[in-house]
Amino acid sequence: MDTNTSKYGPVEAAWLDEQIKAFWARTEDDEFECTDSFRLARKGVPAEEQEYEEEITCCGKMDLEFGPSPEGHTYWYGFNYGH
């Protein structure tokens, strides 16, 4: 997933990439089939939170909270699965 260095800055983007990769490393290969609608939002930023919520289009969803980041922020990362 591209965590958008220009949006969050290089330190936050690198930290987010590490968190996301660590999550996927802990899952089984077939644990989440048919994944889509990957989403990421900084908690406390209304526009990002709204866009995040709009991407939840399925009852099979995974939402994780990462934080605090090196800059003290908390993020939501999620996706839909199992269609």
Annotated domain spans of the chain: 5-80
42 SS3 class: strand
One pLDDT digit (tens) per residue for the chain, 83 residues: 566 788 899 999 999 999 999 999 999 878 888 888 899 999 999 999 999 999 988 778 999 999 999 999 999 999 999 86
What tokens appear for 39 in the block? Answer: 């989403």
The pTM assigned to this predicted structure is 0.86
Phi, psi dihedral angles at 68 (to 5 degrees): -75, 150
